[in-house]
Amino acid sequence: MEYWLLLPAFTMMALMALTHSYLGIHILARGIIFADLALAQIAALGASIAFLMGEDAHGSSAGFYAFAATFVAAALFSQLRRIEDNTTREVAIGVAYVVSTALSVVILSRSSQGMEELKSIFNGNILWVSWDDIGVVAATYALVSIIHIVYRRAFSQLSFGDASRKPNYLWEFFFFLSFAVVITVAVRIAGVLLVFAFLIIPAFSASLVKPNYRTRLWIAFLMGLAGALMGLYVAFVLDLPVGATVVSLLGLLPLLALVLRIFIRGNNVHRQ
């Protein structure tokens, strides 16, 4: 079987598994779980506006529209820390997601091909990703990673530091801006569902296994990689939609994490 045809899609998902797991761990620590889903959908809204303007919804012009939309959202989300009640924050993020989804549907309904395009935006076209696209994504992710490595103390303080301290809103904006850049380039290829799945599921699964930050990051990456590999294999063999299949198998990771957690605790008790 010609599994080599899946190599570009697997490479793209490997990049997502590593970079998105890192961002997902930070989002979980901040307690704003659906900020990533809202940003992904806002990027899709930008692409929808581009489509309405006659642009290719997966082209570079649409990417500019998507980034402009997420840039505005990043500026607004960076102010969420000013809201003390976490429930209110989640409600605000939920409203942003629902409204951006509704606007995408309304905008794309104006075109005879709009609903097909909406389906494409949600599910992506990762199976047909080109090596040129992967090069752009890899370069973008590398730049974001370098920024986060150089300024890791500032970003870590925002996510894992003393919550009673007044946050630096400029660094908060930079975090969400880098988040917006990552999501913009990913949604165009992988779609909203797959981007959100890689942002939250591996990170959450890893948190169930190990509390240590570095260990969590590597577990999340390996779990995401395993989910991508199995999802691609199942989709290829059974002729299923790649994005939805990968997301479905990633959904099994929390169960696997719970099994590993019980096994690790059992071994620790046995050693004692």
| Structure tokens belonging to residue 214 | 């570095």
Q: Which homologous superfamily does the CATH classification assign to the domain defined by 3-271?
A: ABC transporter involved in vitamin B12 uptake, BtuC (1.10.3470.10)
Give 111-120 contacts, CB < 8 A, sequence gap 24+: 111/51, 111/52, 114/51, 117/48, 117/51, 117/57, 118/48, 120/57, 120/58, 120/191
Pick the closest to residue 157 from 147, 171, 145, 176 (CA basis). 171
* pLDDT (average), residues 190-210: 89
pLDDT-based confidence at residue 271 (cuts at 50, 70, 90) = low
**Contact predicate 33/89, CB 8 Å:** no
pLDDT-based confidence at residue 67 (cuts at 50, 70, 90) = confident
- Per-residue pLDDT of 169-194, as tens digits, reads 788 888 888 888 898 888 888 888 89
Tally of CB atoms within 10 A around 67: 20
User: Which residues lie below 8 Å from residue 222, measured CB to CB, with a gap of 6+?
Assistant: none
- Per-residue pLDDT of 237-261, as tens digits, reads 888 888 889 999 999 999 988 888 8
| Domain residue ranges in the chain | 3-271
pLDDT, mean over the chain:
84
- At position 16, the amino acid (one-letter code) is M
CA 203/CA 197 separation, integer angstroms: 10
Query: What per-residue confidence (pLDDT) applies to 38?
Result: 87
Predicted TM-score of the model (pTM): 0.84
